Amino acid sequence: AQRVTQPEKLLSVFKGAPVELKCNYSYSGSPELFWYVQYSRQRLQLLLRHISRESIKGFTADLNKGETSFHLKKPFAQEEDSAMYYCAPTPPLLGYNDMRFGAGTRLTVKP
């Protein structure tokens, strides 16, 4: 079965500490991978797309095909990073129409 797992529902770190939000997927083939973020009282929005290989707001995401993981990382967390983060691998055979979201991790960055 095609599954997306974000093992941590809640993650709390102090400001300035490194943060890693985990995402594991089980798909045949090579999905494209996205991270979405939802800040308090804002809409769900794209944070980054792995194929772009960009760093957005200091976040990067590394695809590990061997471990089928796509963890989101930031070396120094800021209070404004507090939000809900969703990993969304997209099955390649279905195309990008069928986004598959994980259950999400709520990140809290404490001062």
Q: Does 17 bind other proteins (CB under 8 A)?
A: no
CA separation for the pair 66, 69 (Å, rounded): 8
Cα angle, residue 22 at apex, residues 21 and 24 outer, rounded to 5°: 155
- Closest C-alpha among 34, 18, 23 to residue 81: 18
**Residue closer to other proteins (CB basis): 55 or 78:** 55
- Closest C-alpha among 57, 59, 50, 51 to residue 20: 59
Residues numbered 28-87 forming contacts with other proteins, rule: CB under 8 A:
32, 43-46, 49, 86
Enter the tokens of residue 38.
């939802």
**Residue closer to other proteins (CB basis): 15 or 44:** 44
Bridge partners for 108 per DSSP: 12
- Closest C-alpha among 58, 104, 102 to residue 84: 104
Q: Shortest distance, CB of residue 90 to other proteins, whole angstroms?
A: 8
Q: Does 100 bind other proteins (CB under 8 A)?
A: yes
Exactly one of 74, 102, 107, 109 binds other proteins (CB under 8 A); that residue is 102
Q: Does 89 bind other proteins (CB under 8 A)?
A: no
**Residue closer to other proteins (CB basis): 42 or 78:** 42
Binding site for other proteins (CB under 8 A): 4, 9, 32, 43-46, 49, 86, 88, 92-104
